[in-house]
Structure 1
Amino acid sequence: MTTTAPAITPATAAVLARIAAERGRQDALWGEQNHPDGTGPHAELTGLLRRAADAAHTARFTTEIARAEGRLTWLHILREEVYEAFADADPAALTEELIQVAATAACWAEAIDRRTRPTGGGA
């Protein structure tokens, strides 16, 4: 069976390069970081006074309502992904959730770049 890597658009490559550069800056500033995850369904989320599992459920619900009502935003989508990650304690599942967070953030950055790119008005 032959598999191929997914094609990466130039826009995605540009965002990933910026992410890689930021990771380099983080490592230069802080060195290798090895903190506890601090996640799980019972993790307390500062300022929300609720369990992470409850916040994840609420985020999924509000995202679906916003989608159904035609007012879905990137904030809804990324918040849902982040809260789902916060609620996961299993290392493998948490890693997958964090990949989804990173991919969603990259997609949002690409959308901003498209939206703010100067149009090539010629003479």
Structure 2
Amino acid sequence: MTATTPGLTDLRPLAALINRTLQTTPARLGCIEGTADLTAALTTAVATYMGHNLQSAPRVLGEIIAEHTRQDATWGADDHPDTDPRDTTHTTHARYAHHANIWWRVNKERANRTTDCCSGYPEEPHTHTAWDGVLLEEVYGALAESDPAQRRACLIQVATKAAAWIEAIDRRTAPQSAPES
């Protein structure tokens, strides 16, 4: 089967990318590290390709997967403790909870400001909630959790908000299409 096989025509760019990656990635044959290097290079290349060729959410997730794969290939798996074990857990969680509460209040105040003029988008109706507050509220909320299951759920929310912010940046910076005549 080749890239010219009917039904595979659309995959030619991906097949070419895989071929280039195989040709340019030094691999030590018969060695586990060589296989891992090649696997990481292929995974990163394919995830990046998918990230650039899929629509918004899957594309952003593809880019995240590619970056995660690159970091794992460079430094290995990150197995850090949730918080510094030298810290006083009660104090640390209380401080994080305090910061989460501050950002919740900032977001609430921003959302209720509907009469102020916004320099970023003065002609569009919107609240004044901003991504900095949205993400920081979620981050501090996750850090304030002591239960691993709750912290994990909060970190999913952090990742979701970070991906949504990336999508918002992409929408704002995307080239404007010309109006159809």
TM-score if structure 2 supplies the norm length?
Answer: 0.56
* Structure 1 position 20 matched with structure 2 position 65: yes
- Given the superposition, is the C-alpha separation of residues 17 and 92 from structure 1 closer, same or farther in structure 2, using an over 3 Å criterion? same
Q: Percent identity?
A: 40
Counterpart residue type for residue 154 of structure 2: E
Q: Which has the larger radius of gyration?
A: 2
Offset at residue 120 of structure 1 (A): 2.2
Q: Distance in 2 between matches of 1:42 and 1:89?
A: 12
TM-aligned CA deviation for residue 56 of structure 1: 1.1
Query: Alpha-carbon deviations, 1:32-86, whole Å to 9, x = none?
Result: 1111101866317xxxxx8111111111111111111142111110111111011
Which residue of structure 2 aligns with residue 74 of structure 1?
131
Greater mean alpha carbon deviation, residues 12-21 or residues 53-62: 53-62
Gaps of 5+ in 2: 1-53, 114-126
Secondary structure, counterpart of 1:86 in structure 2? helix
Question: How far is the alpha carbon of 1:10 from its aligned partner?
Answer: 2.0
| Aligned with residue 92 of structure 2, among 43, 51, 65 | 43
Q: Distance in 2 between matches of 1:41 and 1:58?
A: 18
In structure 2, C-alpha distance between the alignment counterparts of 1:12 and 1:21, rounded to whole Å: 14
Q: 1:102 to 1:41 in 2, by over 3 A?
A: farther
Equivalent residue number for residue 144 of structure 2: 87
Give the unaligned 5+ runs of structure 1. Answer: 1-8, 45-49
TM-score (norm 1): 0.81
Give the counterpart of 2:76 among 31, 43, 47.
31
Q: Give the SS at the match of 2:178.
A: coil
SS in 1 for 2:91: coil
- Confirm whether residue 57 of structure 1 aligns to residue 57 of structure 2: no
Q: CA deviation at 1:89?
A: 1.3
Equivalent residue letter for 1:25: R
8 Å contact 1:56–1:80 — kept in the other structure? yes
